[in-house]
């Protein structure tokens, strides 16, 4: 096992389970730059690590302090107003311009099948209060990638961490519209025209958002739902867990009939954001990859009734995400 102090932020760490699953991990952004199974790459990435420096799609990145959007970059914490960095139509997206996806994470240790990374966000970084320490453990075993996030702050703060891999299980890299998706979610969060949740939960039954049984992405998109028109496809959070939260549960199952590969996502988070790659652009194409981002609900600090994103000073934030392949 190696320890910190020996790493270039653009030099990938190579992990393997020793049985066909491989993962490349950049300290820059704690970015999963590639996942391969039996030699087949199943995530979108760039041909050279330095291209991740200019990435605008969050490919494989670790997202924080707050995944997804906070409306107008404003909210209240303990009755006091917060003004956050805005970077997406006047909203704070994925922690702001200088979110965790742009940070150089420290490699604490690396073994053949695991690595632990660390980042310390300064008090006031991107407008978020508190000095926040984050540890991320990534490990590979039995054809599964496990990500465990732990964090602790010296002030009450907001937190919502996730991973932003784009998956394509086809062997030829063709559109993910032919993928079959199943989501263990009876409700989703409708949004306004700028992708901010309206605050209500909408039942999926009979709609384009009904993935309770496996269906192709193309079939769902073909329903022409008004919500899909607003986002040019899927960019919505699905409700996958009832209270109490933080229990590990299966959220999603993605399958490519073309390759025969299946991805199952488990997490301790109460929601999963389905993004169908609507705005991917060169060197990629729209819908060349899709994201299944296990996370808290978007805009939770502004929405009464949404799961709390508050982390109390000195308390621990602990969440887990698992990508299992077969």
Predicted pLDDT at 243? 58
Number of domains, the chain = 1
Is pLDDT larger for residue 246 or for residue 118?
Answer: 118
User: pLDDT by residue (tens digit) across 18-64?
Assistant: 999 999 999 999 999 999 999 999 999 999 999 999 999 999 999 99
How confident is the model over 301-321, as pLDDT tens digits?
999 999 999 999 999 999 999
pLDDT tens-place string over residues 129-183: 999 999 999 999 999 999 999 999 999 999 999 999 999 999 999 999 999 999 9
Q: Is pLDDT at 7 greater than 80 in this prediction? A: no
- Look at the alpha carbons of 42, 44, 47, 50 in this order and tell me if their dihedral is positive or negative: negative
Render pLDDT for 92-130 as a digit per residue (tens, 0 to 9). Answer: 999 999 999 999 999 999 999 999 999 999 999 999 999
Report the C-alpha gap between 297 and 70 in whole angstroms: 10
pLDDT at 42: 97
Reduced to 3 states (helix: H, G, I; strand: E, B; else coil), residue 300 is helix
Structural domain boundaries, residue 146: 2-325
Is 0.85 topped by the overall pTM? Answer: yes
Question: For residues 321 and 147, is the Cβ–Cβ distance under 8 A?
Answer: yes
DSSP 3-state of 53: helix
C-alpha 165/C-alpha 129 separation (Å) is 27
Whole-number Å distance between alpha carbons of 285 and 258: 19
Which residue(s) pair with 130 in the sheet?
Answer: none
- Give percent of the chain with pLDDT exceeding 70: 97
Q: Which residues contact 51 (CB under 8 A, 6 or more apart)?
A: none
Q: Which positions are catalytic? A: 164, 293
CA distances from 312 to 153, 272, 289, 293, 294 (A): 7, 24, 36, 24, 22
Pair 40, 163: CB distance under 8 Å: no
Gap between the Cα atoms of 135 and 297, Å rounded: 22
Position 97 scores a pLDDT of 97
Q: Are 191 and 236 within 8 A, CB to CB? A: yes
Residue that is written with structure tokens 């393997």 in the block: 16
Strand-pair category, 310-311 with 157-158: antiparallel
Domain with residue 8: its CATH number is: 2.70.98.10
């Amino acid at each position: 096992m190696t320890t910190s102090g020996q790493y270039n932020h653009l030099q990938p760490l190579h992990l393997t389970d020793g049985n066909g699953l491989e993962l490349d991990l950049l300290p820059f952004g704690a970015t999963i730059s590639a996942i391969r199974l039996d030699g087949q790459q199943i995530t979108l990435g760039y041909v050279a690590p330095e291209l991740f420096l200019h990435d605008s799609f969050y490919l494989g990145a670790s997202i924080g302090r707050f995944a997804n959007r906070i409306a107008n970059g404003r909210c209240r914490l303990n009755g006091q107003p917060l003004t956050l960095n805005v970077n997406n139509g006047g909203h704070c997206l994925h922690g702001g311009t200088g979110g965790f996806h742009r940070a150089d994470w420290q490699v604490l240790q690396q073994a053949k099948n695991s690595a632990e990374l660390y980042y310390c966000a300064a008090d006031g970084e991107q407008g978020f209060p508190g000095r926040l320490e984050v540890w991320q453990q990534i490990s590979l075993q039995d054809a599964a990638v496990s990500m465990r996030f732990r964090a602790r702050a010296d002030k009450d703060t907001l937190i919502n961490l996730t991973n932003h891999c784009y998956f394509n299980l086809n062997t030829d890299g063709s559109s993910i519209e032919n993928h079959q998706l199943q989501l263990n979610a009876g409700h989703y969060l409708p949004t306004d025209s700028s992708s901010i949740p309206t605050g209500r939960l909408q039942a999926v039954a009979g709609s384009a958002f009904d993935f309770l049984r496996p269906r192709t992405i193309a079939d769902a998109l073909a329903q022409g739902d008004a919500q899909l028109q607003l986002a040019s496809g899927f960019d919505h959070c699905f409700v996958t867990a009832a209270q109490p939260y933080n229990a590990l549960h299966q959220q999603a199952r993605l399958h490519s009939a073309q390759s025969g590969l299946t991805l199952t996502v488990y997490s301790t988070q109460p929601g999963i954001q389905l993004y169908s790659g609507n705005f991917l652009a060169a060197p990629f194409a729209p819908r060349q990859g899709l994201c299944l981002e296990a996370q808290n609900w978007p805009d939770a600090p502004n929405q009464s009734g949404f799961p709390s994103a508050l982390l109390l000073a000195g308390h621990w934030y602990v969440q887990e995400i698992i990508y299992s392949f077969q």
